[in-house]
Amino acid sequence: MAGQARELGRVLAAAKDEGRAALVGYLPAGFPTVDGGIAACTALLEGGCDIVEVGLPHSDPVLDGPVIQTADDIALRGGVRIADVLRTVRETHAATGAPVLCMTYWNPVDRYGAERFATELAEAGGAGCILPDLPVEESETWRKAAEQHGLATVFVVAPSSRDERLAKITAAGSGFVYAASLMGVTGTRESVGREAEDLVRRTRATTDLPVCVGLGVSNADQAAEVASFADGVIVGSAFVKRLLDHAGDPDGGLAAVRSLAGELAEGVRRRGR
């Protein structure tokens, strides 16, 4: 890895050295507006997140639950474009120095051009890409472009993934492995479940990459639970919901996001491994 992907590795390693999991926040670009989204991503990092994922809004988000779908719809109706996503990455990274990844379905990148997207994401200071629907078998073009530009390629594993499949996915990925804690779409949940811990254990048996868990964490207690067995805790829907709850009140939304990041950061430190 080179470029910002190295910084991603350093941040994950530094959290491990502190005896805790890293806190990874997610928000879609263009929500509630492009400028508002940049401010919100910055607030996540100021509040206590170590890393941020900037979502590229998609009209058919197969992995995302209703909360993120609502935010994506607002962003798309607002006219968000890939240029706005890249601007969000650029300005968030410039303001904080933290690793910023882009989370996107493959189709927009394929249409835009893998080489062009990788080039522009790297130029924006991006650390890499999370591609939840790109099969490893079809990923060579992207992975070559990403490696050339110093970007990490993060793949998603799920509880349904068999051990041999996990090995294939983790061998192709870089940066970290995104472990979806439960089958189904994103969203906050009452419990993150034991499936997540088993998935982390099985994934670690195939790779030295950090394993970060997402899908379902919404409060400090859940963050502490996941932090006890994972290298990173990924939170998205809970942050989006805070902004939705403060529609029409940008300052209140930013304060709510910053506050939640602080609570979650306390959680991952409470139950360091």
- Do the Cβ atoms of 164 and 206 come closer than 8 Å? no
Query: By the 8 A CB rule, do 44 and 54 touch?
Result: no
CB 223 within 8 A of CB 189: no
Of these residues, 7, 50, 64, 72, which one is catalytic? 64
Residue 64: active-site member: yes
Q: Which of 7, 50, 53, 84 is catalytic?
A: 53
Q: How many CB atoms lie within 10 A of CB 19?
A: 9
The CA radius of gyration of the chain, in Å to the nearest whole number, is 17
54 residue type, one letter = V
For 52, phi then psi, to 5°, come to -130, 140
Catalytic amino acids?
53, 64
